[in-house]
Structure 1
Amino acid sequence: MKQSNRKVSGTLRVWSGVVAATLLAGCGGAEPVHPDEPFPQTQEQAQENVAAAPIVESMDAIALDRTLTSRTRSLIRARLAQGQAQVHQQVPVVSDSGQQLFLNDQGLNGDVTAGDGLFSAIGDVDFVTHQATQDRIREFQARNPQRPLMASTFDNRVRVSTRPLTALSPSVFQPGVPIPIFPAGITFAVKPANSLIITDASVINDPTRTYDPCSNSGNPNGVWTFNHLMREMANTYVSPSVLTEHWLRQWTVNQNINGWTVPARTAMMPYILTPWPRVGGALDLTRSPFKLVAIVNRLDLGGGRGPAGYASGNAGELRFVFAAVDRTSGTCGVRPFLVIFEYGVPHSSCDAVKTWAQRWLELSAPSMVLGSSAYNAALASLTQQVVVRNAAPRKPNGSAINQIRTNEEWLRYPWELREFHLMGSGPSVNRLQGQPTVLTPGDAHNDTPVLRDFINANTPAILANTYTVPTTFPTASTPFLGAFPWIASDTTSFWRATGISVNEARHKFSLNTCSGCHGRETKTGFTHIDEFGTLSPFLATGMSDPSIAYVVQDPVNTSLNREFFEIEMRASKLDSLANQSCLASAFHRRLTSAH
């Protein structure tokens, strides 16, 4: 090791005129890429993972080989955001050959000067892809001369800065010169309705892949049906009908979850279970009363960070949204009862995630007509990678499902959200069981000193997006994390308490809850995708043009307007992951929220 360091240092001294230059690219926060961890994580493990993610401000690479190739031995350097260097001793990244690296500022493994704020290590850099990225930037700039390309930095869901996205000069690409590495997601390249949130009728009503329980038309065994998803989730460990009925019967009786009594919604029986056709006493899943309304790509949740179990890997989640139908009224139709299947995409390596992103981006190609046979077949090939049995062998039943969440007011007002996890891998314990709702305290804690004390005590972590909501607080016997958030009004559903010191911490905490996200913090009327497939303004504003802001007045500080660019964030990350080298992924930070 010492001999290697002397060799590198000698080389760097020869290049001292250029190597001493400061980093050239100022970009947003970072998150290292890691392979999937054993599932599920505890909340404490998730807290440690989030806190361990340094925020990279800028990065460059200096080629040590004489020629620039797809695997060039290079000195990789990063500068951290203000205050981060005092907290972190190393910066984990993945090189472009898939090697886990730990950049350091201790004068080791190619780091020239200990303590100078530059974290460095020797690793492989794909300069071929990096140069192709610059060519692509120039191509899009030439194609849209009246609309300059921009790159945005996001803090969780909030856009905090925007800068021009400009291609590097070809003259920069030579050995011995610091070559900036930065995220370059081109949102123009993404058609959100094709590649992010898919609600088009020609897709969700595809007669070969979906089933309409009202008209009894379509394919009841299609790959986008409720029947198919439940059968693949059950695998061979349990009857799919038994798994489904046990899950739904949890609404018919009171449930105790983390010390909270989740009250029964007994309309489950007359509205859903009683009208459901049966075969030999078991629910006939080919006649299930759930209709597909959306397929959603949540690649933006990737990174293996955030709340335990959510996304749980580098490629984020794939989601299916179903609406319950009413077959009791004589005029069958969808009702406000949404069921969301949320799968962790089982891809972890940089190459696998990049391929996954590329396939989604290809759905935005001019040749891909939304809802055409070619488009639907390409989309089905993507979804099947995730939903089929044994897609995630280390998880219960071998299913990639992370959780099922529901959002409904049909069974009883007010709107209520619930969450269910697949538990166990054997017939005696195999079930979808009600669980606490992510990052959301019990409703009884809202507007109380307990909430005030929690937010004030955790303000730095909340502002840094490194907090979790514990199961109990302030004592081990006091349930804190909730299980059935209610949303009585889209104007009053947000988290607050008298005496909260920093309103920005209150806002971030509230935004990351189920009820705040589906309520006042995003100015949303309960659902982001409703039973008809209609999107909330929070989502819809960016679907036609991601550069248009959705403005929300802060519910506490009414003089403050917040601008959200949700679709821009998702589109930018998709394009960046699909087209850039692995090292650029260091700038993609995992959302704290799982919504």
Structure 2
Amino acid sequence: MKFTTKTLAVFAVVALTTLLLSWNKFAFPITGNNAANKLAIHHWNDNENLSDQELSALEANADWYSYTDKTNKKRIPAAEDVLVQRIPGDNSHILIMAFYSKESFKESSIVIGDDENQIELKDNGIGDDKKAGDGIYTAKIYADVADFRKQAVKMALEQKKTGASYKFVNRMITADADAAEPFNAAKFDAFQPVSIAATGAVLNSELIDSVRRNCIFITDLNVVEDPTRTWNPCTQTGVVNGPWTFGEIFRQLASTTPQNIATDAELSDFIKIWLTNYAVRRIINGDTVNPRPLVLDKILNPWIAKSEAAGGPTGQLDMKFAPFKLTAILNRFDLRDRFAGIPAGECRFTFCLINADCTDKENFTMIVEYSIPKPNKCDSLHSWADQWFNLKNYDLGTPAYNAALQNITDQFSKSGSNRNKTNQSSLSTVRTNDRALTLGDTAEFREFRLNAITGNFIETTCSQIPADKFNGRGVGNPDVATMVLYVNQERKNIIKDNYTVPDTFNNVPFVAGAAHILAEPVGLTNLWFWDGTEQRNTPYFIKNTTARHVFSLNTCTGCHAGELQTHYTHVDPVFFGTETSLSGFLSGRAGAGGAIDFDFIPENDSFMMRDAALRPASNPTLRMFNDILRRARDLKDFSITTCTTPFAIRNQLMYQPTSMVH
């Protein structure tokens, strides 16, 4: 980790705002007897849309429908400060206090903890809380005062030796002014409130580097091309049904139960039903999703031809020729959110498409996302986090490391991992980012979830992004006015990154069926991002610069383009034998396609972005990112604190789930 003095000085001046068409030759048989399954396949192959009644029946039983409903709950925002105070005559308890400004939170109490142990902090002026409505929420908690003091003093002394520190606000890096006085022992001894918000913010460079290398975003070729767990369809080497292969991961998704693992024929049908989505015109939430015509020529036809040439049944896909390469395995413990029903966060596999000639990669990437099936209990969450954290103790890519990693991935990737969901799978979403399947170079983003009736993928709306027509980028019209009205009305929640873009807004279908990058993703001008117009005092102007940025950042097309100087992909497609490269947002170093790091210091471990809309015009805001570092710090902070201790409670009070899906 290379945070230089110059880098930290830059923090002080950064204006951080906290805020298939009918296809005869390869028509495939239906291996199941599910009528709804046949109905869906019939309509897709006949290039028709499901009727409203049929689609409603599918949606009513789809996992993604209830998932979206869960995320509409408002989360408690992160506390702006956390303080502790000794209680005279009591050496077994302390007061812990969370501070919120009136603009950020106004309720009378806060409940944190897990399903077994909960703590209520009150701002009602009764008992331990001194004054009602002052934004200071108080609770008395158990703590050995002497042990707590000793630990806090030790952490503060270590912190002061390192000099300036930093923190993440939402996902941006900023200098941490509170780190100058991480813990005031004299005030604590005098029974005065003392902030512990920054206590322990010091980072051991060697430790945090090993965490982010081994435990967060794993791209090492000794892992993602491990010949005992992956398969190379070009050289026909590896293990064709290895646990990290595209074929085995999708076989587990297609299986109805652990006792009924999908056959080769059933897996082939499952994959073809999924890919056929790209070959037909569909309307999703009022948004027309047009065909990507090259899905047949680039994926399905060559795959089936190779399978048949090898002696396979007519029209059946053989996984030995699956044209997908694993590029990364991701730990997204940082996405944990009990209000969204994912207290242990997510984990993900990323793949890219390999061309039919096996000579190069294609511009098609896919991410398979799982909601981790762990209960909202502190011990359980710590056990899960520690499994990832302990990967730092192995040499990356060794047999011992890969075995430990597989032990983790098996817990969410197999059928039976979540018996309450479709196909008993922990799958949340499959997202694709595609420039390869069209005659042009337009990047398109789609999302898929398992449908409870068919057990197959159903294409759904894209999370956190309105349809393309709502993006003005300098042009005002009624659609743009609708988007701007939404951002302006929701600006407080958007600034706090505590919102969900609704399917419908102002009685108009709002969320996109598919999303597109329609201009340059990187560079100085003509970038693709989300905005209205710059005409003030009109219905097309987003009033708050931070709200505009956060809203655009949380969309797939803003995040993968101009808002972050991302050249279409955060995890770049690569051919076998090449380790993927990452975007600047993830890595802290400028990524592909001529992305610009606006501090022009490539070695300082931070990627600086100028506001894509050049706001404010007099001096556009600069923002710094290194999201893998943020995720590593979060995992480390969680793993090294014991459940129910003051610092564990502090971490929970100051933790902010993100609305960003990336």
TM-score, length of structure 1 as denominator length: 0.81
Does residue 254 of structure 1 match 2:281? yes
Q: Aligned equivalents of 1:127 and 1:244: distance in 2?
A: 59
AA of the residue aligned to 2:484? R
- Equivalent residue for 1:436, pick from 430, 443, 461: 461
User: 2 CA distance for matches of 1:127 and 1:594?
Assistant: 40
Look up the match of 1:299: 333
Cα distance, 1:431 vs. partner? 1.3
3-state SS, counterpart of residue 593 of structure 1: coil
Match of 1:486 among 501, 516, 529: 516
For 1:7, the equivalent position in structure 2 comes to: none
In structure 1, which of residues 585, 589, 592 is the aligned counterpart of residue 656 of structure 2?
589
1:391 is displaced (CA, Å) by 1.7
Q: Deviations over 1:536-556 (max 9, x none)?
A: 122222699996321112122
Q: From the superposition, tell whether residues 394 and 177 of structure 1 become closer, same or farther in structure 2 (CA, over 3 Å).
A: farther
Paired AA for residue 451 in structure 1: M
Q: Which residue number corresponds to residue 553 of structure 1? A: 610
Structure 2 residue aligned with 1:8: none
Please say if residues 289 and 326 of structure 1, whose CA atoms lie closer than 8 Å, have aligned partners that are also in contact. yes
1:351-409: CA deviations, max 9, x gaps? Answer: 222222222222223xx221111221221112112212222222222211110000111
Bigger mean CA offset, 346-355 vs 534-543: 534-543
Match of 2:627 among 550, 562, 566: 566
What secondary structure, in the 3-state scheme, does the structure 2 residue paired with 1:47 have?
coil
- Aligned 1:443-482 pairs, distance under 5 A: 443-447=468-472, 448-475=480-507, 478-482=508-512
C-alpha separation between the residues in 2 aligned to 1:517 and 1:457? 22
Q: Equivalent residues in 2 for 1:130-209 (5 A)?
A: 134=152, 137=155, 147-148=162-163, 150-157=165-172, 159=174, 161=176, 163-164=178-179, 168=183, 181-182=196-197, 184=200, 186=203, 188=205, 189-191=207-209, 192-209=212-229
Aligned match of 1:313 in 329, 339, 342? 342
Aligned-partner residue type, residue 124 of structure 2: Q
> What's the CA shift for 1:410?
1.0
Cα gap change, 1:547 to 1:352, in 2 (>3 Å): farther
In the TM superposition, what are the counterparts of 1:260-279 in structure 2 within 5 Å?
260-276=287-303, 277=307, 279=312
In structure 1, give the amino acid aligned to 2:587: A
Q: How does 1:59-458 map to 2 (within 5 A)?
A: 59-60=83-84, 62=86, 74-84=94-104, 87-94=106-113, 98-108=116-126, 110-125=128-143, 134=152, 137=155, 147-148=162-163, 150-157=165-172, 159=174, 161=176, 163-164=178-179, 168=183, 181-182=196-197, 184=200, 186=203, 188=205, 189-191=207-209, 192-236=212-256, 239-276=266-303, 277=307, 279-280=312-313, 281-304=315-338, 312-327=341-356, 329=357, 331-347=358-374, 348-365=376-393, 368-412=394-438, 413-424=441-452, 429-447=454-472, 448-458=480-490
Per the alignment, residue 50 of structure 2 pairs with: none
Displacement after TM superposition at 1:39 (Å): 7.6
Q: 1:179 to 1:391 in 2, by over 3 A?
A: farther
**Aligned letter for 1:154?**
V
Change (3 A) 1:172 1:500: closer
- Alignment partners' CA distance in 2, 1:266 and 1:125: 64
Report the secondary structure of 1:282's partner residue.
Answer: coil
Relative distance call for 1:204 and 1:166 in structure 2 (3 A) is: farther
TM-aligned CA deviation for residue 324 of structure 1: 1.2
Pairwise CA distance, 1:116: 4.7
Assess, with a 3 A threshold, how the Cα gap between structure 1 residues 534 and 156 changes in structure 2: closer, same or farther: closer
Q: CA deviation at 1:93?
A: 1.5
Question: Aligned AA for 2:79?
Answer: I
Is 2:584 the counterpart of 1:537?
Answer: yes
Match of 1:13 in 2: none
Distance in 2 between residues matched to 1:535 and 1:580, nearest whole Å: 30
Instruction: Sort the Cα spacing of 1:591 and 1:432 in 2 relative to 1 into closer, same or farther, 3 A.
Output: same
The 8 Å contact of residues 197 and 296 in structure 1, kept in 2 or not, is answered as yes
CA deviation vs aligned residue, 1:164-202 (integer Å, no higher than 9, x gap): 387758899999786755464536222322222111111
- Gapped runs of 5+ residues in structure 1? 1-27, 30-37
C-alpha contact (below 8 Å) 1:404/1:419 kept by paired residues = yes
Question: Does the C-alpha gap of structure 1 residues 162 and 284 become closer, same or farther in structure 2, counting only changes over 3 Å?
Answer: farther
Question: Residues 171 and 627 of structure 2 are in contact (CA less than 8 Å); yes or no, is this contact kept in structure 1?
Answer: no
Q: Which amino acid aligns with 1:363?
A: L
Report how far residue 527 of structure 1 moved. 0.3
Q: Which amino acid in 2 is paired with 1:355?
A: S
Per mean C-alpha deviation after superposition, the further-off stretch among 429-438 and 556-565 is 556-565
C-alpha displacement of 1:326: 1.3
Note the alpha carbon deviations across 1:299-318, whole angstroms, 9 max, x for none.
2212235xx6xxx4122211
State the distance in 2 between where 1:385 and 1:207 align: 21
Counterpart code for 2:343: N
Distance 1:102 1:392 in 2: 31
AA partner of residue 487 (structure 1): I
**Contact conserved, 2:445 with 2:556, CA < 8 A, in 1?**
yes
**Residue 60 (structure 1) shift:** 2.2
Separation in structure 2 between the aligned mates of residue 172 and residue 362 of structure 1, nearest angstrom? 37
Q: How far did 1:104 drift? A: 0.9
Change (3 A) 1:249 1:92: same
Query: Which residue of structure 2 aligns with residue 18 of structure 1?
Result: none
Where do 1:48-63 residues align within 5 Å? 48-50=73-75, 52-53=76-77, 55-60=79-84, 62=86
The Cα shift of 1:574 comes to 1.1
- 259-268 or 495-504, larger mean C-alpha shift: 495-504
1:200–1:148 Cα change, 3 Å: farther
8 Å Cα contact 1:547-1:568 kept in structure 2: no
Alignment CA distance shift 1:170-1:105 (3 Å): closer
- How far, CA to CA, are the matches of 2:157 and 2:251 in structure 1? 46
Residues 80-115 of structure 1, C-alpha deviation per residue, up to 9 Å, x if partnerless? 245345x221112118x9511221122456435444
Amino acid of the structure 1 residue aligned with 2:165: M
RMSD over aligned Cα, in angstroms? 3.4
- Once residues 160 and 454 of structure 1 are traced to their aligned partners in structure 2, the CA distance between those partners, rounded to angstroms, is 31
For 1:19-30, list aligned pairs within 5 A.
Answer: none
For 2:450 and 2:331, the matched residues in 1 are separated by 21
C-alpha distance in 2 between matches for 1:122 and 1:92: 13
Name the CA shift for 1:42/1:141 in 2 (closer, same or farther; >3 Å): closer
Counterpart residue number, 2:645 = none
CA distance in 1, matches of 2:563, 2:323: 32
Shift of 1:136: 7.8
Indicate if the aligned counterparts of 1:77 and 1:103 stay in contact, CA closer than 8 A: yes
Letter in 2 for 1:285: M
Identity, in percent, stands at 29
C-alpha distance after superposition, 1:14-62 (max 9, x if no partner): xxxxxxxxxxxxxx99xxxxxxxx9864645423323x44634213264
Distance in structure 2 (CA, Å) of the matches to 1:502 and 1:496:
11
Question: Structure 1: which amino acid aligns with 2:547?
Answer: A
Seen in structure 2, the aligned counterparts of structure 1 residues 175 and 39 have a Cα distance that, compared at 3 Å, is farther
Distance in 2 (CA, whole Å) between partners of 1:274 and 1:336 is 18
State the alpha-carbon separation in 1 of the partners of residues 521 and 589 from structure 2: 21
Query: What code does the residue aligned with 2:367 have?
Result: I
How big is the shift at 1:208? 0.8
Q: Say if 1:224 and 1:480 are closer, same or farther in 2 by CA, change over 3 A.
A: same
C-alpha change, 1:137 and 1:47, in structure 2 (3 Å) is same
Equivalent position amino acid for 1:212 in 2: N
Question: Is there any run of 5+ residues in structure 2 with no aligned partner, and where?
Answer: 1-16, 19-62, 473-479, 534-540, 575-579, 591-600, 643-647
Separation in 1 of the partners of 2:87 and 2:408?
37
Amino acid at match of 2:344: A
| Distance in 1 (alpha carbons) for counterparts of 2:290 and 2:570 | 24
* Change in CA separation of 1:160 and 1:149 when aligned onto 2, cut-off 3 Å: closer
CA distance in 1, matches of 2:371, 2:324: 22
